Amino acid sequence: MSTADQMPFLSTRRGKLTLALLCSIAFVDFVDASIVNLALPSIRHDLHFSTRSLVWVPSAYLLTYGGLMLLGGRAADLLGRRRVLIAGTVLIGVASLVGGLAQSSSVLVGARLAQGVGAAAMLPTALSILTTLFREGSERNLALGAWGGVGGISSAIGVLAGGALTEGPGWRWVFFVNPFACLLVVAASFALLDGKRPETRLEGFDLAGAILSTAGALLAIYALVNAPTVGWGNARTIGEIAGAVVLFAGFAINELRQRNPLVPPPLFRIKGIAVANITQLFAFCGFLSIFFFLTLYMRGMLGYSPIKVGVAYLPLCVGAFLAAGAAGPLLSRAGARPMIVTGGLTAAGGIYWLSRIPVHGSYLSDVLPGTLLLAVGMGPVWVGVASAATSGVAAGEAGLAASLLNASQQLGGALGLAVLSALASSRTGDLLARHTPASAALVSGFQRALLGGSIFLASAAVIALRASNTHGETAAQPDSEPGLLHEQVPPPLPSHATAGGEN
């Protein structure tokens, strides 16, 4: 092998540009999840949304993004990564243009659904490209650290940009900025990424598995998004959740019987994958909640404008960016398990601090310390989970592994927000029934929800005690599973954090 062949890809100009492109793709997807939230009041006024239907502006994106994530990742493995990436990027650009021009609520919600479909193709594909281009060990750890850092900072930039655009040229520019970014991504993808088709053939594609998994994920997320409004005990909610369970059970049975399953069962026999995905789910149940409840607290109790809310999140996301960047090199020395456990407990402590916010609070004493602790904790969690979840995965399964971890993240975000919103609403309702002042009742609901978020993150840290302690090196795989190659491919990290908006 020549010296050129041995040179780390990340040390080359093309490698650096490729990593910048992949991080830019993640940035676009993560920002799309948060940028609309501070524009919601203006959108509601201009397009005549009801308070109840307004939730579908952010939730429609989450629905198709999380529901189609598994299919998007597998499509990248089977159809070609550059092809699927560009298709998803074009779809996001066109859907954003339609959303910006929308004159009715139904058109805007439809555009958000289409944006989610595009993101479900883009993000796992970009992650699988990252984990197959950069060599296992320090090179890949550095790339994962950069990816995790982008995930941390992009959510705050989304909130800040959403507030600035809404107060400036108007909420429609929240959507109009996307097509320009997408054009740049498409041009760079053609210039930097290999467009060759995979050797895998499509004759045995598991269509039944694709339909069952997608339908189950869509129905589960739809039920979770609607549950706080419809009611957890409502027959409709129970029926939807039961239906999702049946679909997932059917999917599991189908995968065991298929010759070429969508998700090969041996994948879950690789040490650490199942535990890491469960850890991701619990971590994001707690993490994403803080954006929703803190936004409402800062807007309603501290009297912050949309732009000021965005600025208030910058220490959190810059801190997460720096922590994730530092966690990449640390992974080689400490290993994934101690990083996830320590980071999870630190992040849980940060949210616990936030759960003590008073009615008449101060940003510097009541919000900033907790968000900084959260930032320091979540960076190592993102990087550690990404490595532990995918150590030992074959290059041909990289998109699938990426989509599984991101699907866990999306499902965790939807589940956490649904559960914690129910806790907050129940607490606030009980206090209002006792004639407690409205502001005190509302903040007490936020406190209860944030306390639940800290418990979710502490639980993630406990679950991670059984995670694989990979240092980013290639993991040994069982020889009895010929379908999984011996090349390690770690994937995903944070999905976007969803900042809560006003209703």
Q: What amino acid is encoded at 282 in this protein?
A: F
Rounded Cα–Cα distance for residues 243 and 205 (Å): 25
Same domain, 292 and 254: no
**Beta strands, E only, 295-380:** none
pLDDT at residue 495, rounded to an integer: 38
Same domain, 240 and 255: yes
Helices 13-34, 105-133: axis angle to 10 degrees equals 150
Q: Look up the domain containing 238 and give its range.
A: 207-261
Rounded Cα–Cα distance for residues 236 and 449 (Å): 24
pLDDT at residue 127, rounded to an integer: 81
Same domain, 83 and 101: yes
Same domain, 240 and 344: no
pLDDT at residue 292, rounded to an integer: 79
Same domain, 95 and 158: yes
Q: Give 389's DSSP letter.
A: H
Q: Give 270's DSSP letter.
A: S
Q: pLDDT averaged over consecutive 10-residue blocks of the chain (503 residues)?
A: 60 89 88 80 86 76 80 81 93 96 94 92 86 78 78 74 85 93 94 77 70 84 78 87 93 84 73 84 86 85 85 85 82 85 95 94 94 91 81 67 77 81 86 92 93 95 85 46 33 38 38
Same domain, 298 and 366: yes
pLDDT at residue 233, rounded to an integer: 83
- Determine, yes or no, domain membership for 493: no
Query: In terms of DSSP H, where are the helices of 364-397?
Result: 368-390
- Determine, yes or no, domain membership for 367: yes
**Residue 161, Ramachandran bin (φ over 0: left; ψ between -120 and 50: alpha; else beta):** alpha
pLDDT at residue 359, rounded to an integer: 92
pLDDT at residue 198, rounded to an integer: 67
- Determine, yes or no, domain membership for 376: yes
**Residue 358, Ramachandran bin (φ over 0: left; ψ between -120 and 50: alpha; else beta):** beta
- End-to-end alpha carbon distance in the chain: 61
- Determine, yes or no, domain membership for 503: no
- Determine, yes or no, domain membership for 232: yes
Residue at a domain's end among 261, 289, 306:
261
Rounded Cα–Cα distance for residues 144 and 127 (Å): 9
Rounded Cα–Cα distance for residues 259 and 254 (Å): 10
Rounded Cα–Cα distance for residues 304 and 306 (Å): 7
pLDDT at residue 320, rounded to an integer: 83
Mention every residue, 6+ apart, whose C-beta is less than 8 A from residue 392: 270, 271, 272, 474, 475, 476, 477, 484, 486, 488
Same domain, 72 and 219: no
Rounded Cα–Cα distance for residues 223 and 36 (Å): 22
Handedness of CA 442, 448, 454, 459 (dihedral sign): negative
Query: In terms of DSSP H, where are the helices of 11-68?
Result: 13-34, 40-47, 56-67
Same domain, 309 and 375: yes
pLDDT at residue 399, rounded to an integer: 65
pLDDT in tens, 168-214: 888 999 999 999 999 999 999 999 998 777 665 556 667 788 788 88
Same domain, 308 and 446: yes
Same domain, 250 and 276: no
Q: Which of 221, 218, 217 is nearest to 415 (CA)?
A: 221
Same domain, 371 and 253: no
Q: What amino acid is encoded at 257 in this protein?
A: R
- CATH code for the domain in which residue 322 is found: 1.20.1250.20
- Determine, yes or no, domain membership for 317: yes
Into how many domains does the chain fold? Answer: 2
The string of DSSP letters for 391-432 reads TT--GGGHHHHHHHHHHHHHHHHHHHHHHHHHHHHHHHHHHH
SS (H, E, C) 439-454: HHHHHHHHHHHHHHHH
Q: Which of 40, 20, 72, 173 is nearest to 410 (CA)?
A: 72
| 214 φ, ψ (degrees, to nearest 5) | -65, -45
Same domain, 250 and 270: no
Helices 13-34, 173-192: axis angle to 10 degrees equals 160
**Beta strands, E only, 180-236:** none
Q: Give 260's DSSP letter.
A: S
C-alpha to C-alpha distances, 404 to 329, 376, 424, nearest whole angstrom = 25, 25, 30
Mention every residue, 6+ apart, whose C-beta is less than 8 A from residue 135: 8, 9
Residue in this structure with the two tokens 């607490």, named with its chain if needed: 427
- Determine, yes or no, domain membership for 498: no
- Determine, yes or no, domain membership for 499: no
Supply the pTM of this predicted model.
0.76
